[in-house]
Amino acid sequence: MSCKPRRLVILGATGSIGGSTLAVARLHPERYQIWALTARRQVEKLAALCREFRPCYAALADAEDAAELAAKLRASQIKTEVLYGADAFCQLAAASEADTVMAAIVGAAGLAPALAAARAGKRLLLANKEALVMAGGLFMRAVRDNKTTLLPIDSEHNAIFQSLPRDFAPLGDAKAWARSGVRQLWLTASGGPFLRFSARELENVTPEAAISHPNWSMGAKISVDSASLMNKGLEVIEAHWLFAAPPDCLRVAVHPQSIVHSLVEYQDGSFLAQLGAPDMRVPIAHALAYPERFSSGARTLDLFARTRLDFMPPDTERFPCLRLAYDALKTGGSAPATLNAANEIAVDAFLRRRLSFPGIAHLVEEVLAAMPAVSADTLESVEEADRAARETAHSLLSCSAVL
């Protein structure tokens, strides 16, 4: 093991993945120094983290919150320098003093800083799946061109990464896929809290019910995505880019126990899988220690407590978001960025009780139908597709066409 601690930047430190990353880092102070922490606007929570970890830098989205954080830190005699704004997130992600970046901002806001880390050749732990959904081609090119070590944090992709041949490299390369002997990838899905709800019951579900996930504890947006199966759709697109898997080789199996985190099916009929308790500290510890292993702090899986592991096909009639994501992947160009942006607006409207749960899929479908896919191979064109999709989604919402 190397003696020099790695310097870690955590983008989205106040969130669910950020918290789990800090929980693992706390167990291994000799391996990781927390060099920078970022959040959007949770000043008090970020101040507490700065008091504990004493990072060199902390950043928030806007100037007012940053001034409040700086004042709190001064009062506690903490020397952390406070920055603000989207550019600051990118600067910290690419800073030469840091070597490892956890990209755990939620949503499209996470794309630019994650891409900055990829372009700077960092060891990049990627939780922000939206970056790959929006700009997968561009992102993976940056990873390859800069010899970035990309480690997937999403539990399914981390499980697949662990189950692929050790020499599967570089990530995102069609040649690596072709020589791997893999037939297809199976992404498992818990099915979320509404797995057994009828179409009629889905009409009346509340945000509170949607965010109380049966197996995983996560941020609000991904919890709603999980309930609608959009999360699995985004993950299909994410897997396509990470592993260069053709869309027809990406399969989804509903597995309500969330013990088998995903599987790789080989051409000889073997299935390799990664199993574990549903706890994000496991894939985070895997990526932090990679290629070594160290403890994650998660409880171990009690095999004798398991009575069964079930697998079933997803129902895209009741959960059409999964089908919409496959369609967007096959369409290509700006379609996945449009899907992602429309979904972010739809989830936000659902959480604010302005849209019903089935309305999420309706809104996404309407936005996709209104916006023919165009080429999106630069950050600017992806951001333009994202902006235009948000505008269309807002105007459809305001005329109540999709409620």
Q: Which tokens hold the place of 69?
A: 């954080």
SS3 state at 211:
helix
The angle that helices 357-370 and 230-243 make with each other, rounded to 10 degrees, is 50
- Least separation, in Å, of the C-beta of 294 and ligand NDP? 20
- Least separation, in Å, of the C-beta of 152 and Mg ion? 10
Q: Which of 106, 135, 287, 288 binds ligand NDP (CB under 6 A)?
A: 106
- Judged by CB under 6 A, the stretch of 101-109, 114-122, 266-274, 293-301 that binds ligand NDP is 101-109
Token look-up 């496991």 returns 282
Does residue 188 bind ligand NDP (CB under 6 A)?
Answer: no
Pairing verdict, β 182-189 and 260-266: antiparallel
Q: Which of 128, 190, 258, 392 binds ligand NDP (CB under 6 A)?
A: 128
Number of residues that bind Mg ion (CB under 5 A): 3
Number of residues that bind ligand NDP (CB under 6 A): 28
Q: Which of 7, 8, 9, 12 binds ligand NDP (CB under 6 A)?
A: 12
Does residue 136 bind ligand NDP (CB under 6 A)?
Answer: no
Q: Which is nearer to ligand NDP, 128 or 180 (CB)?
A: 128
141-180: which residues touch Mg ion (CB under 5 A)?
154-156
- Least separation, in Å, of the C-beta of 114 and ligand NDP? 9
Strands (E), 181-308: 182-189, 250-254, 260-266, 271-275
- Least separation, in Å, of the C-beta of 33 and Mg ion? 28
How far is 336 from 237, CA to CA, in rounded Å?
A: 8
Q: Which tokens hold the place of 55?
A: 């990072």
SS3 state at 185:
strand
| Residue 112 DSSP code | H
The secondary structure of 18-66 as a DSSP string is HHHHHHHHHH-TTTEEEEEEE-SS-HHHHHHHHHHH--SEEEESSHHHH
Q: Which is nearer to Mg ion, 10 or 280 (CB)?
A: 280
SS3 state at 372:
coil
Residues at the site binding Mg ion, with contacts judged by CB under 5 A = 154-156
Residues at the site binding ligand NDP, with contacts judged by CB under 6 A = 12-18, 39-42, 61, 104-106, 109-110, 127-130, 154, 216, 218-219, 221-222, 280
